[in-house]
Amino acid sequence: MLKKLLLGTWVLLVLASIPQLSLAQTQEDIDLADAYYKNNEMEKAVALYDKIYAKKSDDIGIYTKYLAVLRSLKQYDKAEKAIKKQIKNRPQEPAFLFDLAQLYLQMGNGKKSDEQKQLLIKNLKNPDDEQIRKTAKLFLEYGLLDNAIEAYEKGNKIFNDENHYAYEIGTIYGKQGKIAELFTMMLKVLDQNPQQLQATKNVLQNYLTNDQAMLDLQTLLFKKIQHDPNDLTYPDLLIWSYLQRKDFESALEQVKALDRRFKEEGEKVMEVARLATEEKDYDAAANAYDYVISLGENAANYYVARNASLKVRRLKITQTDNYTESDLKALKKAYLSAIADFDKHHRRNEVIESDRDLAELEALYLHDVDTAILILKDLIDNNPLEIHALCKAKLNLGDYYLISGEPWEATLLYSQVDKALPGEELSELGKFKNAKWSYFFGDFEWAQAQMDVLKSSTSDVIANDALDLSIFLTENLGSGGDSIVNSNAMKQFAKADLLVFQNKITAALASYDSIGINYKENNLADNIAFAKANIFIEQKKYEEAVSLLDEIGLKWSDDILGDDALYTKAELFETKLNKKKEAMDLYSDLLVKFPGSTFAVDARKRFRALRGDKLSE
């Protein structure tokens, strides 16, 4: 009896272990088949997958690899049978019908392939968004854009809404290059859902690449606006379209019309003015601010606009060559009038800013430095100023004292600012100006020590300027027997730099030229050429400037000013001479010859902008 029980137990154990052994064997087959598949040994793989698929046809991973192997070996009958088995087991899954369509296409039977694709679309019967999107996605993944549109259009019919998938169809039109159709479809999106405005802008932005595309979109938008003047979605989009092309005047015309209609007191006009200022379209910005000013002093943005208008007009003068003596005088008159008005209405911040700006205009452009000094002395002495405003005014006043030939007054003010705000950028700027002051007057050792401290400034501008001057001093002072000659030559060079700062240009040029005469062994020739080139650019003597920059590139391209000269020439060609192609070539040369240059990042941006790239990419 015991033997029978033991025998029965043994049989049960054996029977129980058979499925586990079978599973282990199947997994070994799968691993081996996968290895053959990865190694592209399809003949070996197919024998194993035949056996595996017979047992595990419901495993999509196995099916996918098996189908790939069969298609690779052109075993079309087996492949068709495997796909149809999946279709039978999962009739709701569109991917298998698509697999069949692709198989027929590989077999050279385009007609049957198209029939399967149409069957995919025909099978869309219920308002099932997931199924419709899944079907369209299959077509999109294989570049079958027309079929994807058909799937979405069928979805529109199912949902009884011709615009249900307008956004998706529109983006496909964009991929097909059907820009007019894209615009029409994206406006249908907005008809249905104005909240999609930003998403619509994101799509349209990629296709407003030429004047014709812009004209097509704006024509559609004008029709929409005429049809429903009370809908603000389309005026918003129209204004946005102008801004994409930096057509600020046209954008401003539309914004002003909306502002008058809805009495917004210039709120959106101010935004257009800000964007125009950023893009250096100062005339458009001034026009915008003038409109806001015209609304009267009771308007919410009146004083802000009046102050900003002065700043824009000053920027046009300080950052472009496009101004006349009468422009300078007109701007001075506008400042005086505005300052009186600001003061009358107790607009202290505007008074302070305008006084500093007017002083700059007097000192640097109207060359009346004495008046500039009087303006700032009155501002500092007779007005309680917040510490940062006070420091800014003192730095400006120090500069004007230095220009007027009162260096000790200048260094006193720089020192006061240096000590006023420890660790802040304004104090670092005071320290830098004092160090530069020491350089101007030949105290190179102290200037170098200060520049070495400022190389770690929190301000990149100050840090870079300090580094440049520190390197210049190190490179050119020398040591040993030539140090006295070099030091004297450097003092003459620093004196010439001071004369440039004081706008005594004729004397500065003579001082630079005298260095080669008085100190024949000096090593400042490239620096002299570069300094004179910058003077000639300011004087609009562009041919003379290019000649000197070319000389640096020819004689001293491997020295420290090689990349400076190349970048300056490229910028000159781009911004002054309107030689965009030549500028691109020069920026490209800089990136190749001086990949580690501090100008490399900016040169790459300018190159891409000239090439027409979207800089946000």
Tens of pLDDT, residue by residue over 439-483, are 999 999 999 999 989 988 888 899 999 999 999 998 888 654 456
Query: 326-349 pLDDT, tens per residue?
Result: 989 999 999 999 999 999 999 999
Matching residue, tokens 């008046």: 371
Rounded CA separation 167/173 (Å) = 10
Q: Check residue 89 and give its pLDDT.
A: 87
With a cut of 50, say whether residue 13 has pLDDT above it. no
Quick count: other Cβ atoms within 10 Å of Cβ 370? 11
* Contact yes or no for 355/376 (Cβ under 8 A): yes
- Using DSSP's 3-state secondary structure scheme, residue 74 falls into coil
Whether 112 and 93 have beta carbons less than 8 Å apart is answered as no
Chain segment 259-290, per-residue pLDDT in tens: 998 888 899 999 999 999 999 999 999 999 99
Question: How would you write 246-298 as a 3-class SS string?
Answer: CCHHHHHHHHHHHHHHHCCCCHHHHHHHHHHHHCCCHHHHHHHHHHHHHCCCC
Helices 76-89 and 60-72 cross at an angle (nearest 10°) of 160
pLDDT exceeds cutoff 80 at 615: no
How far does Cα 593 stand from its chain's mean position?
25
Distance CA 208, CA 241 (A): 8
Cα dihedral 12, 15, 21, 23 in deg (nearest 10): -110
User: Which tokens go with 98?
Assistant: 């698509």
Report yes or no: 143 and 180 within 8 Å, Cβ to Cβ: no
Confidence of residue 430 (pLDDT cuts 50, 70, 90): very high
The crossing angle, in degrees rounded to 10, of helices 387-404 and 369-382 is 150
Residue length of the chain: 617
DSSP tally for the chain: helices H, then strands E:
32, 0
C-alpha count within 13 angstroms, C-beta hemisphere, residue 252: 23
The answer to whether residues 542 and 576 touch, using CB atoms and an 8 Å cutoff, is yes
Q: What is the mean pLDDT of residues 4-20?
A: 48
> How far apart are alpha carbons 336 and 38 in whole angstroms?
81
Distance CA 383, CA 371 (A): 18
Tell me if 401 sits within 8 A of 409, measured CB to CB.
Answer: yes
Please state, in angstroms and rounded to a whole number, the distance separating the CA atoms of residues 566 and 113.
60
Q: For domain 524-611, give the fold.
A: 1.25.40
pLDDT range class, residue 617, cuts 50, 70, 90: very low
**How much is the average pLDDT of 247-268?**
91
Mean of the pLDDT values across residues 113-140? 91
Residue % of the chain over a pLDDT of 70: 94
CA distance 428 to 501: 20
- What is the per-residue pLDDT for 6? 47
Highest mean pLDDT pick, 13-22, 472-481, 579-588 = 579-588
Please count the other Cβ atoms lying within 10 Å of the Cβ belonging to residue 186: 27
pLDDT at 395 over 50: yes
First to last CA, the chain: 85
Residues sharing a CB contact under 8 Å with residue 271, sequence separation 6 or more, in sequence order:
none
Kindly give the residue spans of alpha helices, DSSP state H, lying in 520-595: 525-538, 542-555, 562-575, 580-593
Reported for 89-98, long-range contacts at CB under 8 A and 24+ positions apart, including other chains, are 89/57, 89/58, 92/131, 94/120, 94/123, 94/131, 94/134, 94/135, 94/138, 95/134, 95/138, 97/123, 98/138, 98/139
Residue 493 to residue 474: CA distance in whole angstroms:
14
Distance CA 93, CA 138 (A): 11
- Confidence band of 323 (pLDDT split at 50, 70, 90): confident
Distance, C-alpha 95 to centroid of its chain: 41
Question: In the prediction, which pLDDT does 209 show?
Answer: 82
Q: What pLDDT, on a 0 to 100 scale, did the predictor assign at position 493?
A: 95
How far apart CA 453 and CA 575 sit, in angstroms, is 35
